[in-house]
Structure 1
Amino acid sequence: MECNTCTNKIGSARLAVQCSQCHKHYHCKCVDLTTTDSELINSGNKLFKCYGCGSSSKDGDFTLSDVMKKLNELITKNVDMCVSIELCHTRIQENNKLLKDQDARINSCLERIDSLSQQNTHLQKENAELKRQINEQNQYSRKNSLEIFGVPEIKDENVIRTVQVIAQSLGVNLDKQRIDAAHRLKSNLRKPNEPRGIIIKFISRLDKDDFLKARKVKRDFNTSHLSHYFTQLNVHPAKAIYINESLTYENKQLLNKCREFKKNKNVKYLWSRNGQIFMRMSDNSQVFKISSIESLRDVH
């Protein structure tokens, strides 16, 4: 082993030092170090750097101070990092608490939504049932009523007299005392040129049934069958006169849907009786009572 400065061999290790950076060996006298310095450096209590790796003071305090400074900087950074990590943990805990609170609120909202949904379903069923009952009551109030369409209108018409003429043409004797009320309906906006329909309310349901049966017997009943009461109108050609049970708006809508179904599915029979709608596919098939649109699914 030789000195990196004078290149002479180093006889005693006590009289030489090693650079802590480049690890080259030097005589103490070649780098201006005393025997005491050599002992401190070789014992590890001081660090030594050669001139090539950085200036070094005689006693080596600069190098150790520099190391301590770096160490203190690392300690400070480590403390700051610990504080930052602790802050992150605190924030994470706060966020976890917020998430738990939000989960609780969301679960509460979901429970509330489920409860409201059940209430809504119940109210919808209840509302549908109330509508059904009201419709039944309204239809029941029409149990003695008929509607007539196709009868020409006369100026200054006495509708009860018109109804009596229609009854006479059907072979039914109808005193005005057996008629509770009779009047023309509103004009049909889709058919403005056609005469307005007539609604009749009989005192007795039996009179209504007799009137309706007479019309069914006289299947070709038209304006030509009316008495001299209508001759002045000179209706040509003769037009059919229709007599039907008086249905509520809801039942009329249902009957229209049934007519569409009858046409599309080749249903042979469709009729109403006492405010109820019935359907039969053929002569030998089952009779179905149609109380709603859903009832049509059962028709076969």
Structure 2
Amino acid sequence: MSCDDSLIVDNSLQNPQPSASVRPSLGGEVTLQSIANLLDSKLESKLDEKFELFKRSFQSSMSHLIKKEVVAAIDQVRLEFTQTTDFLQDGQKELKSDIESTDAKVKSLEKQNTDLKKDLNALQRRLESIEKVSRSLNVEIQGVPEKRNENVMTLVKNLYNAVSLPTTDTEISTCRRVAKLPTTASSRPRNILLSLPSMRHRDTLLSAVKRYNKSNPGNTLSSVHLGIQGDKCPVYVSEHLSPECKELFALSRVAARGKYRYVWVKYGNIYVRKDENSPAIHIKNKDCLSKIK
């Protein structure tokens, strides 16, 4: 073989051409290109099969893994939720028990408060009754001007003389000025407290003062009648009332102003009346003021 023939053979190997003597099994011509195409198609088919198998396997594995993780997560959430609900249920039971206990205590305190209010009202009524009895022999004289070195007994005797009511020293147990209440910031003179032997003596003096003022509407009882020099000041004689009763009497006069003609106190009780033909209304406490407003 010559060098040229050798080169020709090498070229034929580098660029293979289909041989005429090679025939395809199905009657077609078999060439390297057809074989390559056949191999490519087979390889592609196999790769597709492998890819499908891998994809199905991967999907199955991922689905199983995700399902496993989801189930585990759900189980964890269920466990935590159960623990939370159990905790809340225990807290609810404890709270319910505390509420029931507190409710029982509140009801007990309400009952105690009601009982204490009843006892307090009963004690107040008893105290008012005792105060009325303790003050039943006293008369309070208001509006009498104070003078230095005054003789209160002489002032009281002058009052008796002014209303034409005879009296003796033995009929006057005590007479003195009484201090003002700490909450009273008034320039009015201190009242004179007159203690008498009996309620009959008290009622007699009150009736005499009332008759005098009614008989002398233009010259009612004043400081002049008691022998006090200076400006003429009206003098009032009334029952000796407790501070609470005085306050209620003042409120009753304010509430009755312009609507009720008469407001008075008798035996420590306060009454109002519209006119002579109307029934008297007993003002027992501040709640009764709503009846006359």
Question: Do the two structures share a fold, i.e. TM-score over 0.5?
Answer: yes
Q: Is the 8 A contact 1:140 1:275 kept in 2?
A: no
Cα deviation for residue 133 of structure 1 reads 1.9
- Is 1:146 the equivalent of 2:139? yes
Partner of 2:212: 218
Find the aligned partners of 1:285 and 1:296 in 2 and give their Cα distance: 17
Q: 1:66 to 1:291 in 2, by over 3 A?
A: same
Say how many residue pairs are matched.
247
Q: Which has the higher helix share?
A: 2
Q: Is the 8 A contact 1:135 1:250 kept in 2?
A: no
2:189 to 195, 209, 212: 195
Partner of 2:177: 184
Q: Is the 8 A contact 1:182 1:200 kept in 2?
A: yes
Q: Which runs of 5+ in 2 are unaligned?
A: 1-37, 214-219
2:62 to 51, 54, 70: 70
Q: What secondary structure sits across from 1:173 in the alignment?
A: coil
- Is 1:31 the equivalent of 2:25? no
Find the aligned partners of 2:292 and 2:145 in 1 and give their Cα distance: 38
Q: Is the 8 A contact 1:148 1:199 kept in 2?
A: yes
Partner of 1:50: 48
1:260 to 248, 251, 254: 254
Letter in 1 for 2:222: N
Partner of 2:19: none
Find the aligned partners of 2:65 and 2:144 in 1 and give their Cα distance: 110
The structure, 1 or 2, with the larger RCO (C-alpha pairs under 8 Å, 6+ apart) is 2
- Is 1:235 the equivalent of 2:230? yes
Task: Show CA shifts across 1:175-232 (max 9, x none).
Answer: 222222211122585442x432201111222111111111011101222323xxx3xx
- Is 1:159 the equivalent of 2:152? yes
Q: What secondary structure sits across from 1:218 in the alignment?
A: helix
Partner of 2:30: none
Q: Is the 8 A contact 1:184 1:196 kept in 2?
A: yes
Q: Is the 8 A contact 2:262 2:275 kept in 1?
A: yes
Greater C-alpha Rg: 2
Find the aligned partners of 1:249 and 1:134 in 2 and give their Cα distance: 13
Task: Show CA shifts across 1:114-155 (max 9, x none).
Answer: 332232233223213312221221122100111111223332
Find the aligned partners of 1:247 and 1:269 in 2 and give their Cα distance: 18
CA RMSD of aligned residues (A): 3.0
Find the aligned partners of 2:236 and 2:230 in 1 and give their Cα distance: 16
Cα deviation for residue 235 of structure 1 reads 1.8
Q: Which runs of 5+ in 1 are unaligned?
A: 1-25, 34-47
Q: Structure 2-normalised TM-score?
A: 0.73
- Is 1:272 the equivalent of 2:284? no
Q: Structure 1-normalised TM-score?
A: 0.72
